[in-house]
Structure 1
Amino acid sequence: MSETFGQALRRLRAAAGLSQPQLARLVHADQSAVSRWENDRTSPSRDTVEQLDELLEASGDLARIAFPATLAPTQPLDEPVTSDYVDELRASIANLVKLDGQHGGAELVPMASRMFRTASARLASGNYPSALEADFTATVAELGEVAGWLAFDAMQHERARALNLEALHLARLAGDSSMELFVLGNLALQAQETGQSREALRTVQLMDRFKLSPRLRVMAALRRARAAADLGDERAFSLIQHAQAEVESSVQATDPGWAWWVDRRELRVHEGGMWRAVGRPEQAVDCYADALAAVPRSYRWASYIGGANLVSALVEVRSWAEAERAATEVANLAPEVTSARAGKRLRDAAATARQNRAPSSLENMLTTLAAAH
């Protein structure tokens, strides 16, 4: 049985004659973080893994264990595209998604963008069997969607929009209506988050042209309700409540694989954003707390941005003790997860804390967290 990351780290630390506290000081982490790494409960960020490799003279072994899958297909660029290349591309996509869920995608954006450009160039070259064209095109479209999502969470909005539009075009060429819907949903989310709520609604209208499954109708309703609330439309709340009532029964075996995130937890996150949009942060606190409690333990990125949402709302309602507890949980994840969107929420919370004369301990914690982004 192959050695886990935690087992390898423990072995290498012991071989170097270091205690957990000593290693923690060397990588500017808490001893509890090192303990969690060695027990395979959490994983450090890529930068920290590389630092550990150097400190423990592991010659890259820790990085190879922590990030085992090849992120880029290895077929020479001048050779015709084969089905093996497309399979490797799919494996790379799956690995990007996994790493994003565990650590956030900020560090993955350049890599994912390069992979997409390379795959797009190979697609444009026509150097592949005709029987492979539709599958290859759909796979490159999916890679573009993933790269666009990573760029969006990194708040590289121009790049994210360009990647999403290219992915949308490729999905249409491939006849992949499922991926087309996914990208449209992402574009609507980006428009909403950047203050273009009317553009978000227009994008949702494009989704309505398709024959939507019950679960995808819930997704469209979510995007519509979120944008409508930002525009002050009170009907948005009845729309989100109807979607919440329907979401559990909407799941079907034929749903696209990417629809896994359309669940009650996600709806509660956006309901929280809607309450804040209409000036009711006290209602948002309950939504964010419910959503955060439902995050799977392995989905650290969702815990991180969900925690940032909760902290921001708690600061707005001046619930200082609860805000400090929530901020501590976010701080525990900060060495392992990055998200520019979470960073923005923390910066806004730090500014609100100063304005509302929060306790200095909370203000200092938020300022430190915000500075990390």
Structure 2
Amino acid sequence: MPQPEKKLDPGASPQEWFGYELRLRRKAEELSARALGRLVQVSDDVILNIEKGKYPSCQRELAQRLDGILETGGVFDRAWPMAFDPRDADRKRSDADKRPAGRREGTVQVREGRILGRDEPSPRPGSPEPVDRRSFLQVSGLAAIAPIDLTQAFAPSGLTLPESVGASHIDQIQEVATSISSWDNTFGGGGMVRDVAGRAMQWSAGLLQAQCPEHMRADLFAAVSRLGVVVGASAFDSYAHEEATTTFKFAADCAEEAGDWHLRAKTYSLLARQAVWIGQPDDGLTYAEKGLVRRDRLTATEQAMLHTARARAFGKMGNVRDCMAAVGEADDAFTQARPAEDPAWMAYYDEAQHNGDTAHALFDLAILAGQDPGRAIRRFYTAVKGHSEAFKRSRALSRTKLAALLMAKGDPRQAAVIGHDSLDEVGRLTSRRAADDLRQLGAFASKHPKVQDAVGLRERITATVSA
């Protein structure tokens, strides 16, 4: 049963008045939130959140596009300074900055990043971005949110930290990151993997409080950034989304400090994928585009990775044209990949990974926009066949999505066979993402009540994966 719409109170705040007026005029034009979103180049979630007064940073250009589509005579443009003027947020931040500061031992404020200046617009990655994302792309790293307070973000309580950092400590961080990444890909991000990852992150972040020779400083920040990427990924897989986002952004800022464009790109790729996964494709698209800033500094493989993230965002929006274009750009970049030019930790992004990631974007087009499922099916087959035992989770995710697509758009009996193989593999993982994909497969199977193979698969999924 659909949920009743939130009752709006136009007198509660300027933002809620803005939202009330938007909903009123949208319905007068008999437009759904999704239809209006497509017309003004944002997702339906953005439209609905503006209407509910929950969207904090509507850009003025978006207000002007709404005026144009809804033919308001400029109502939203005139109301924008009252509801969304960023100077209000600046004043609030300024007031917060004036609060008395107590003595905070062990607190480290990360210095301004070396890659992009905080007060200058980021270089554009080629084609102009949709205007409602420009201001986001002008801010770098965690400075867009708040200064990093390591004591609060990753408090190393109960851990023994050295007084000064040496090369051996940096080597330890790198080796631990490699080990956790391997465990995460093999077993999933939950259970022991997440516990070990969290402790390792605390210890490594704590090293940023210790004395460090200047010539080692960039290497230290790069190592901590790499570990943050891995730890954030395990938290994402465990659905600890707030922790994952905080860790990814911390890793991005450390990459900025290290001057490492490759780690920076990887963190924004993961932020994009997580945002898409949790139903925020607009944010995912922003992160992916931010990762592509100065793409000339990135390898072809990294560019393919980020274009794939864009494709997944567009796919989740049901935007066929832009999704297919992004898949094409990802394919073009991947054909130019030279593994020898990539950082060692990018070795995971091989043919199987590329096909699986782009297939996820095409899956959404097939399900949400009625597109031909054949393209996604072929890519999923390639991914399942190509992933080794070292990447069981990626193989399981692609296999489950393949079964779901066949169940929804193809032969349910063939889908059931593949689905049982997925269950065999997922049962050994501590991955909530994999479990959720199985639930989706079960939902598609329930639409074939007269096909015994589908019924049997759904019953096994129900018995295996808790609701």
TM-score range, shorter chain: 0.7 to 0.9
Partner of 1:169: 253
Q: Partner of 2:281 in structure 1?
A: 197
Counterpart residue number, 1:152? 236
1:114 correspondence with 2:199? yes
Amino acid at match of 1:202: T
Instruction: Name the structure 2 match of 1:291.
Output: 383
* Pick aligned residue for 2:315 from 214, 229, 245: 229
Please state how far the C-alpha of 1:329 moved relative to its aligned partner. Answer: 1.6
Aligned match of 1:367: 462
SS at structure 2 position matched to 1:100: helix
Work out whether 1:269 is the aligned partner of 2:353.
no
Give deviations 1:273-308, integer Å, cap 9, x for gaps: 233322347333333222211212432222222222
* Residues 1:85 and 1:253: Cα distance change in structure 2 (over 3 Å): same
The answer to whether the Cα contact below 8 Å between 2:205 and 2:224 also exists between their aligned partners in 1 is: yes
Q: Deviation of residue 237 (structure 1)? A: 1.3
Residues 318-329 of structure 1: pairs in structure 2 closer than 5 A: 319-329=411-421
Matches within 5 A, 1:237-248: 237-248=324-335
Residue identity matched to 2:373: E
Q: Is the 8 A contact 2:407 2:445 kept in 1?
A: yes
Q: How big is each residue's C-alpha offset from its partner over 1:164-204, in whole Å with a ceiling of 9 and x where there is no partner?
A: 01111111112122111110111111112222112122222
Match of 2:424 among 318, 332, 337: 332
Q: What CA distance in whole angstroms lies between the structure 1 residues aligned with 2:218 and 2:336?
A: 33
Structure 2 CA distance for aligned equivalents of residues 348 and 281 of structure 1: 19
Provide structure 1 residue ranges, at least 5 long, that are not aligned to the other structure.
1-74
Moved more, 76-85 or 163-172: 76-85
- Rounded to whole Å, the distance in 1 between the matches of 2:360 and 2:422 is 19
SS of structure 1 residue aligned to 2:341: coil
Deviation at 1:116, TM superposition (A): 0.8
- Paired position in structure 1 for 2:188: 104
TM-score normalised by structure 2 residue count: 0.59
Q: Deviations 1:38-78 (Å, cap 9, x if unpaired)?
A: xxxxxxxxxxxxxxxxxxxxxxxxxxxxxxxxxxxxx9425
- Given the two structures, how large is their TM-score scaled by the length of structure 1? 0.73
**Aligned-partner Cα distance in 2 for 1:348–1:130:** 51
Q: Does 1:308 pair with 2:400?
A: yes
- Match status 1:217 vs 2:293: no
Partner residue of 2:177 out of 90, 93, 97: 93
Q: Report Cα offsets for 1:120-166 as digits up to 9, x if no partner.
A: 1221x233333332212211111111100111122221111010011
- The structure with more helix, counted as a fraction of residues: 1
Q: 1:83 to 1:219 in 2, by over 3 A?
A: same
Q: Please give the per-residue CA displacement for 1:204-242, whole angstroms capped at 9, x wherever unaligned.
A: 221232223322222222122221232214132133134
The amino acid of 1:346's aligned partner reads L
Deviation at 1:323, TM superposition (A): 2.1
Q: Which residue of 2 aligns with 1:71?
A: none
Matched, 1:141 2:228: no
Task: Count residues with an aligned counterpart.
Answer: 297
- Secondary structure, counterpart of 1:299 in structure 2: helix
The one-character-per-residue Cα deviations of 1:78-117 (angstroms, maximum 9, x if unpaired) are 5433222221222111111111222122121232122112
Matched, 1:254 2:338: no
Q: Distance in 1 between matches of 2:194 and 2:172?
A: 19
Change (3 A) 1:94 1:271: closer
Q: Could you say which structure has the larger radius of gyration?
A: 2
CA contact (8 A) 2:393 2:426 kept: no
Identity %: 22
> Are 2:162 and 2:207, in contact at CA under 8 Å, matched by a contact in 1?
no
**Partners in 1 of 2:390 and 2:224 — Cα distance?**
27
User: Given residue 326 of structure 2, which amino acid in structure 1 is its aligned partner?
Assistant: L
Superposition CA RMSD, Å:
2.3
Please list every run of 5 or more consecutive structure 2 residues that lacks an aligned counterpart in the other structure: 1-158
CA separation of 1:293 and 1:93: change in aligned 2, threshold 3 A: same
